[in-house]
C-alpha cells in the first residue's frame, strides 16, 4: 500500500461537483453494495445453521460475528491515510477502498457458498468474519465521504435517506432472495446469487472517470489494483484464521462450550467500556490542545469526543447503545422463531421481499423527511418506540396460527419501525462528529452504538433458553423503548468549543 496522508486534488469530484441528483444516485448505489451482504453473515446464516441442526446456543455465538463492525474505529484511520495501489491512484482513495472491499465481499460470499454444508463450523465462522470485515470496510469509506460532502443536518437528511434506501432495500432483497433460492437450489446457490449481486457495482465504479490526471491509464491501474487486492485479501484471511485459532483455544481453556450460560459474563463485559471511559475522562478534559493524546493520528479523533462532550459523552454513549438494541437482538433469533412457527423458507422470503422492502423504504423515507423538519428529540423518540413495537410483533406472531396476514403484519411492523429508527439515528450520529475527523469519529460512534447490542446478541441462545421466545422479544423491544427515558438528558448535552 502507498502512504498518502494528503487529500488528492479533486477528491470529491465523483460526487458530481455537489449536484444533488448525482450525489443521491451514488449513495443509493453504495447503499446497495453495503446492504446485500449483511443478512448473509447474520440472520440468514443463523437459519442455515438451524437447518443443519446446530444448537441454538451455538447459533447465538455466531451472532458475535456482527461484533466486528463495532470495532471499525481500529482501522478507520487507515482508510484516511493509505491508498490501495492501482485503484487509489487512478480512481481516488475513497473509491479505491470501496473497490477493494467489494472484491473482499465477493470472495467471502463465494467461500461461504462452497462451505454451505457447515461440516466445519470453524471454517464457516472464518468466512463469516471475513465477509463482515469487508462489508464494514466498505461502510467506513462511504460514511466518511458522506459526512464530508454533507456537513449539516439539512443536507444529511436526503443523502442518508438515499443511502439507507439502497442499504436496507438491498438487505431485504438479499434476505428474501436468498431464502427463495435456497428453497430451490440450496444454500450454495443462494450465497452465489448474492455474491453476483454484490459484485455488480464494481464494473460501474471501474468505468468511472479517474481522479486528477489518472496517470498510468485505466487498464494498468485495474491490473495493479487487482494484483494488490489479491495479496491483501490473502493476507487478511491468513491473519483472521490465526487470530480465530487463538480465540477458540482461549475459549476452550476457559471451559466455554455449547452448554455454557454466557449471559452473566457478557453483561460484565458490557459494563467494562463505561468504567474505563469514566476513569480516563478527567485526564482527557484537562489535556491541552498540544497534548499527545489529542494530536495523535491513532487516538486523537476518539479522545476529541470525550474532550468536547465531557461527562455528557457517557450519557450519549449509553443512549446510542440502547437505541438500536431491539433491532440487533431480534436479528439473532427472528428467523428461527418464524421458521419454528410453521412458515416455509419461500413464505418467509416472499414476506421479506415484498412487504419488508416496501416497509423499509417507507420507514427510511419518513425518517429522512422528519429528521429535516422535526426537533431532534421527537424524531429519536418516535423511532425508538416504533422499533420496539416491531419487536413485540414477533411475540404476537408466535401465538397466532400460521397465516399470510399474520406474517405480513409482523414483518411490516418490524421493518417500518426499524427503517424510521435507522434514518433518524444516522442523522443524529452524523451531527455529533467533529468535521475535522468525520470518518474516524463516525466509525467510533456507530461502532459503539452496536457494541453492547451485539455482545448481548451472542448470548441470545442462552437468554432464550432461560426466558423463552416471548420473554426474549418483550425484553429486546423494552430495551429500545427504554432509550427514550435518556432523551431529556441527551438533549441537554452540548459540545465544548475546541
Residue 369 has pLDDT above 80, yes or no: yes
pLDDT at 349: 80
Residue 16 has pLDDT above 60, yes or no: no
Q: Is 433 exposed, middle or buried (0-12, 13-18, 19+ CB in 10 A)?
A: buried
Tens-place pLDDT, residues 290-335? 888 888 877 788 888 888 888 888 889 889 888 988 888 887 788 8
pLDDT at 103: 95
| Least confidently predicted of 151-155, 167-171, 191-195, 444-448 | 151-155
Residue 319 is placed in which grid cell?
443512549
Residue 258 is placed in which grid cell?
455449547
The phi and psi torsions of 3 (rounded to 5 degrees) equal -70, 135
Q: Which residue pairs from 9-18 have beta carbons closer than 8 angstroms and sit at least 24 positions apart in sequence?
A: 9/211, 9/212, 10/92, 10/211, 10/212, 11/92, 11/93, 11/94, 11/211, 12/145, 12/148, 12/149, 13/92, 13/211, 14/92, 14/94, 14/95, 14/208, 14/211, 15/145, 15/149, 18/149
- Which band of pLDDT confidence, cut at 50, 70 and 90, is reported for residue 260? low
pLDDT at 255: 67
pLDDT at 263: 59
- Which band of pLDDT confidence, cut at 50, 70 and 90, is reported for residue 384? very high
pLDDT at 189: 92
- Which band of pLDDT confidence, cut at 50, 70 and 90, is reported for residue 100? very high
Tens-place pLDDT, residues 34-77? 888 888 888 788 888 888 888 777 777 787 787 787 777 778 87
Q: With the CA atoms of 259, 475, 133 and 47 taken in that order, what torsion angle do they form, in degrees rounded to the nearest 10? A: 60
The residue extents of the domains of the chain are 19-490
Tens-place pLDDT, residues 445-465? 887 888 778 777 777 777 877
Residue 267 has pLDDT above 70, yes or no: no
Round to whole Å and give the CA distance between 90 and 86.
6
Which range has highest mean pLDDT (2-11, 104-113, 134-143)? Answer: 104-113
pLDDT at 242: 92
* From the candidate CATH numbers 3.40.50.300, 3.40.50.720, 1.20.1250.20, 1.10.287.3510, the one assigned to the domain spanning 19-490: 1.20.1250.20
pLDDT at 454: 77
pLDDT at 421: 92
Q: What is the mean pLDDT of the chain?
A: 82
Residue 375 has pLDDT above 80, yes or no: yes
Kindly state the average pLDDT of the residues 177-181.
Answer: 84
Global confidence as pTM: 0.66
pLDDT at 293: 80
Amino acid at each position: 500500500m502507498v502512504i498518502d496522508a494528503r487529500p488528492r486534488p479533486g477528491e470529491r469530484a465523483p460526487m458530481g461537483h455537489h449536484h444533488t441528483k448525482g450525489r443521491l444516485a451514488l449513495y443509493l448505489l453504495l447503499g446497495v453494495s453495503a446492504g446485500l451482504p449483511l443478512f448473509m453473515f447474520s440472520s440468514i446464516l443463523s437459519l442455515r445453521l438451524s437447518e443443519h441442526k446446530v444448537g441454538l446456543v451455538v447459533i447465538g455465538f455466531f451472532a458475535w460475528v456482527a461484533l466486528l463492525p463495532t470495532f471499525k474505529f481500529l482501522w478507520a484511520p487507515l482508510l484516511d491515510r493509505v491508498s490501495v495501489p492501482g485503484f487509489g491512484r487512478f480512481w481516488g482513495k475513497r473509491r479505491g477502498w470501496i473497490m477493494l472491499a467489494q472484491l473482499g465481499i465477493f470472495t467471502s460470499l463465494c467461500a461461504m457458498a462452497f462451505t454451505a454444508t457447515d461440516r466445519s463450523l470453524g471454517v464457516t465462522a472464518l468466512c463469516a468474519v471475513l465477509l463482515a470485515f469487508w462489508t464494514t470496510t466498505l461502510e467506513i469509506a462511504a460514511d466518511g465521504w458522506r459526512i464530508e460532502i454533507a456537513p449539516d443536518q439539512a443536507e444529511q437528511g436526503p443523502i442518508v435517506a438515499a443511502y439507507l434506501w439502497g442499504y436496507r432495500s438491498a438487505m431485504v432483497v438479499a434476505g428474501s432472495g436468498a431464502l427463495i433460492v435456497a428453497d430451490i437450489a440450496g444454500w450454495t446457490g443462494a450465497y452465489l446469487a448474492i455474491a453476483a449481486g454484490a459484485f455488480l457495482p464494481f464494473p460501474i465504479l471501474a468505468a468511472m472517470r479517474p481522479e486528477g490526471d489518472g496517470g498510468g491509464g485505466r487498464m494498468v491501474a485495474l491490473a495493479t489494483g487487482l494484483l494488490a487486492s489479491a495479496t491483501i485479501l490473502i493476507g487478511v484471511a491468513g491473519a483472521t484464521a490465526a487470530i480465530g485459532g487463538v480465540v477458540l483455544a482461549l475459549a476452550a481453556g476457559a471451559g466455554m462450550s455449547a452448554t455454557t450460560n454466557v449471559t452473566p459474563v457478557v453483561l460484565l463485559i458490557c459494563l467494562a467500556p463505561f468504567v474505563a471511559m469514566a476513569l480516563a475522562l478527567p485526564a482527557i478534559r484537562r489535556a491541552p490542545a498540544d497534548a499527545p493524546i489529542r494530536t495523535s493520528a491513532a487516538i486523537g479523533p476518539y479522545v476529541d469526543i470525550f474532550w468536547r462532550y465531557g461527562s455528557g459523552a457517557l450519557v450519549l454513549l449509553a443512549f446510542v447503545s440502547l437505541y438500536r438494541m431491539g433491532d440487533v437482538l431480534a436479528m439473532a433469533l427472528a428467523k428461527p422463531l418464524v421458521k419454528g412457527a410453521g412458515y416455509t423458507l419461500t413464505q418467509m422470503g416472499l414476506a421479506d421481499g415484498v412487504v419488508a422492502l416496501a416497509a423499509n423504504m417507507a420507514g427510511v423515507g419518513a425518517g429522512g423527511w422528519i429528521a429535516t423538519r422535526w426537533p431532534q428529540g421527537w424524531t429519536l423518540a418516535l423511532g425508538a418506540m416504533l422499533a420496539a413495537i416491531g419487536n413485540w410483533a414477533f411475540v404476537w406472531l408466535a401465538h397466532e396460527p400460521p397465516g399470510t396476514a399474520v406474517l405480513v403484519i409482523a414483518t411490516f411492523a418490524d421493518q417500518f419501525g426499524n427503517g424510521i429508527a435507522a434514518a433518524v439515528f444516522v442523522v443524529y450520529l452524523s451531527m455529533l462528529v467533529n468535521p475535522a475527523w468525520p470518518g474516524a469519529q463516525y466509525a467510533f460512534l456507530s461502532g459503539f452504538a452496536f457494541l453492547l447490542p451485539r455482545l448481548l446478541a451472542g448470548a441470545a441462545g442462552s437468554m432464550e433458553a432461560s426466558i423463552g421466545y416471548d420473554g426474549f422479544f418483550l425484553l429486546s423491544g423494552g430495551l429500545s423503548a427504554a432509550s427514550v427515558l435518556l432523551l431529556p438528558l441527551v438533549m441537554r448535552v452540548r459540545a465544548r468549543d475546541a
